[in-house]
């Protein structure tokens, strides 16, 4: 929580003025019982109406001044709290954007959404309440006790006993409820996760008629959350009745002692009324303080959850010297776990013999997504020359996407190194590296706006001619021309007003606009028919420039004309070569090919090769 207070640094004036004006309001409020005592002891006792009117006018003035101070304090507190929350959300969003895919996978989307919205709002309310009441309520409580001592010491001793008892109750309940509120927020994460999952997969749920089971799963999590909220709510609810009991017992004792003092001539009736008013003020302020404690408790729990995201540091460095140090560490680790000096020398010789024209080179790369987890890729070693088209194929879960995700450095190699233009990707800055690369991911994601807005993600200053060129290459120009507004046609959030094939073609066009040196198509034509897919591949192959293209696909038809094909099987390279070479030499590739084409056609193809 303390680390988040840095976002209040731009609101120092507001954080001082808000409690200051609340203290002024409280000071004027403490004078009210004394004025009431004067009205009773002087005005009413002597029947002096003028005195009563003047004192009533004084009460009105105190009320107006108090109201003005209160409104001013509310303004400054709200300004500071809203500004603090805006800065914190902005900082949190920037920090999340800096995290690598590994951290994002660990956190999960539902947790990040909860912390950006619900948790941030709770912290904002906590800051607002603290600025308004954190000093005011204790000031009124202890100020009332001091004022009671100015009236009568014996009666004031009741305040001395009452206030510590109330503090024990308030802070004891707070100590119990803070950990429970953390569990409540964690339960909220789970419910939100199930809700998001069900909304995302609504069609799948209905297709398999799983509505009832999903409702049951949601109800189970929701009931657990409700039970936790009820439990912590019951504990927090004890605060008000216990404080009421203590205050009312103290009031009874105060009236009894005050009556004895009045009979003894040591106190006036007005003084007793003033003491009772001070006790009532303590009651009101402690109720406010109790509600403040509940709010601050929730805010503290939410702030700790937000801080845990800030504390999560990106596992990837930004390049430069840090990248060199990381590479040195990786090299030492590979040398330690390998076959020693002989393997290192062989690796060095092999690297030296390779062509310097390689656009991308994987040098004995292994990848683990999580520390201590099973390797997703093992000993991947190949080179892609400039201008080549590299096809990547394999069964589900074989590591195809993992390979291409390491080129733009979405994930870092656990062992070995990935080189782009002869330089380790960890030695590039992230911006410099990704300026060279255009990526079309498996899931076609478009953003709300126009077609033009989405295409310009690749190049902000792209002219319309460049956009149409990219659309033509991606086979999207025809359907864009048919839309009202063409490039200015509206796209709904996620591209919901487009078909799957249209979304895929627009995402390909978005990557082509920037004219990347390396183009990665990660199963990005799965929704296209074979004819459109073939036209797309032909257009990309005929592009101007010397672009190195990586095509990840489940279809052999999509990659069979590639210059080289990588066949992956359970995270390892099962074969590397052309379509004809792999049909003759790689059993895994042959099985995939024969499963998609008639066996007779495959046999004829092999006979021609022989």
The predicted structure's pLDDT at residue 276: 83
> Distance of CA 67 to CAs 70, 382, 480, Å?
5, 76, 61
Partners of 439 in the β-ladder: 520
Q: How confident is the model at residue 219 (pLDDT cuts 50, 70, 90)?
A: very high
For the stretch 267-295, pLDDT in tens is: 788 888 888 888 778 777 877 777 787 78
The CATH number of the domain covering residues in 2-311 = 1.20.1560.10
The predicted structure's pLDDT at residue 597: 76
Can you tell me the mean pLDDT for 556-568?
Answer: 85
Closest CA to 585 of 595, 594, 575: 575
Partners of 419 in the β-ladder: 361, 424
The predicted structure's pLDDT at residue 348: 41
The CATH number of the domain covering residues in 321-436+516-609 = 3.40.50.300
Q: How confident is the model at residue 323 (pLDDT cuts 50, 70, 90)?
A: very low
Across all residues in the chain, what is the average pLDDT? 80
CATH 1.20.1560.10 domain residues, the chain: 2-311
CA 218 to chain centre: 22
Decide if 150 contacts 104 (C-beta within 8 A). Answer: no
Compute the distance between CA of residue 522 and CA of residue 182 in angstroms, rounded to an integer. Answer: 40
For the stretch 361-408, pLDDT in tens is: 888 888 887 665 677 888 888 888 888 888 898 888 788 888 888 888
Residue 215 has pLDDT above 80, yes or no: yes
The predicted structure's pLDDT at residue 334: 38
Selected residue with higher pLDDT from 557 and 80 = 80
Compute the distance between CA of residue 81 and CA of residue 92 in angstroms, rounded to an integer. Answer: 16
Q: What pTM does this model have?
A: 0.67
Decide if 40 contacts 270 (C-beta within 8 A). Answer: yes
Can you tell me the mean pLDDT for 196-208?
Answer: 86
Decide if 125 contacts 81 (C-beta within 8 A). Answer: yes
CATH 3.40.50.300 domain residues, the chain: 321-436+516-609
Question: CA neighbours within 13 Å on the CB side: how many for 73?
Answer: 24
* Residue 113 CB coordination number (10 Å): 15
Compute the distance between CA of residue 209 and CA of residue 153 in angstroms, rounded to an integer. Answer: 76
Decide if 569 contacts 395 (C-beta within 8 A). Answer: yes
State the Cα torsion 13-15-18-21 to the nearest 10°. -70
Q: By three-state DSSP, how is residue 556 classified?
A: helix
Can you tell me the mean pLDDT for 414-424?
Answer: 86
The predicted structure's pLDDT at residue 76: 92
Task: Give the 3-state secondary structure of 370-404.
Answer: CCCCCEEEEEEEEEEECCCEEEEEECCCCCHHHHH
As a whole number of angstroms, the longest Cα–Cα distance in the chain is: 127
The predicted structure's pLDDT at residue 6: 82
């Amino acid at each position: 929580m303390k680390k988040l207070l840095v976002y209040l640094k731009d609101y120092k004036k507001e954080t001082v003025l808000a409690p200051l004006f609340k203290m002024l309001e409280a000071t004027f409020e403490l004078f009210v019982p004394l004025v009431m005592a004067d009205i009773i002891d002087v005005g009413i006792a002597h029947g002096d109406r003028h005195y009563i009117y003047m004192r009533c006018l004084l009460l009105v003035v105190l009320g107006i001044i108090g109201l003005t101070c209160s409104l001013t304090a509310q303004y400054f507190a709200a300004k500071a709290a809203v500004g603090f929350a805006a800065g914190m959300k902005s900082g949190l969003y920037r920090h999340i954007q800096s995290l690598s895919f590994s951290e994002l996978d660990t956190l999960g989307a539902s947790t990040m959404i909860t912390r950006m919205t619900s948790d941030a709002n709770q912290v904002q309310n906590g800051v607002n309440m603290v600025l308004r009441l954190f000093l005011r309520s204790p000031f009124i409580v202890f100020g009332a006790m001091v004022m009671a001592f100015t009236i009568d010491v014996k009666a004031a001793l009741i305040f001395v006993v009452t206030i510590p008892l109330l503090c024990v109750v308030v802070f004891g309940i707070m100590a119990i409820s803070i950990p429970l509120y953390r569990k409540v927020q964690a339960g909220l994460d789970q419910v939100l996760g199930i809700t998001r999952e069900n909304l995302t997969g609504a069609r799948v749920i209905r297709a398999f008629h799983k509505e009832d089971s999903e409702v049951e799963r949601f109800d189970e999590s929701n009931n657990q959350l409700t039970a936790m909220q009820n439990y912590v709510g019951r504990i927090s609810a004890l605060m008000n009745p216990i404080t009421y009991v203590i205050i009312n017992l103290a009031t009874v004792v105060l009236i009894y002692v005050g009556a004895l003092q009045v009979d003894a001539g040591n106190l006036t009736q007005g003084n007793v009324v003033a003491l009772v008013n001070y006790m009532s003020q303590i009651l009101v302020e402690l109720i406010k303080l109790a509600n403040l404690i509940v709010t601050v408790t929730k805010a503290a729990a939410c702030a700790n959850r937000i801080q845990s995201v800030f504390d999560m540091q990106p596992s990837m460095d930004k390049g430069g010297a840090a990248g060199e140090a990381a590479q040195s560490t990786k090299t030492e680790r590979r040398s330690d776990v390998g076959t020693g000096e002989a393997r290192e020398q062989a690796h060095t010789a092999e690297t030296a013999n390779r062509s310097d024209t390689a656009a991308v080179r994987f040098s004995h790369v292994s990848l683990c997504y999580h520390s201590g987890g099973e390797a997703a890729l093992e000993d991947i070693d190949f080179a892609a020359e400039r201008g080549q088209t590299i096809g990547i194929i394999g069964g589900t879960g074989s590591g195809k996407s993992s390979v291409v995700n390491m080129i733009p450095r979405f994930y870092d190699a656990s062992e070995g190194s990935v080189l782009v233009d002869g330089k380790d990707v960890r030695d590039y800055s992230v911006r410099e590296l990704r300026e060279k690369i255009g990526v079309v991911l498996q899931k076609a994601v478009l953003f709300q706006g126009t077609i033009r807005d989405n295409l310009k993600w690749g190049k902000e200053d792209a002219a319309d001619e460049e956009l149409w060129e990219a659309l033509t290459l991606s086979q999207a120009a025809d359907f864009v021309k048919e839309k009202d507004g063409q490039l200015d046609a509206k796209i709904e959030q996620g591209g919901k007003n487009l078909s799957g094939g249209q979304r895929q073609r627009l995402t390909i066009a978005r990557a082509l606009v920037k004219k990347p040196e390396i183009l990665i198509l990660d199963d990005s034509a799965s929704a296209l028919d074979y004819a459109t897919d073939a036209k797309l591949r032909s257009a990309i192959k005929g592009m101007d420039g010397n672009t190195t293209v990586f095509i990840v696909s489940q279809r052999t038809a999509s990659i069979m004309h590639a210059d080289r094909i990588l066949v992956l099987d359970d995270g390892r390279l099962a074969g590397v070569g052309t379509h004809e070479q792999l049909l003759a030499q790689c059993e895994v590739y042959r099985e995939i090919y024969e499963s998609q084409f008639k066996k007779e056609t495959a046999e004829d193809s092999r006979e021609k090769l022989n």
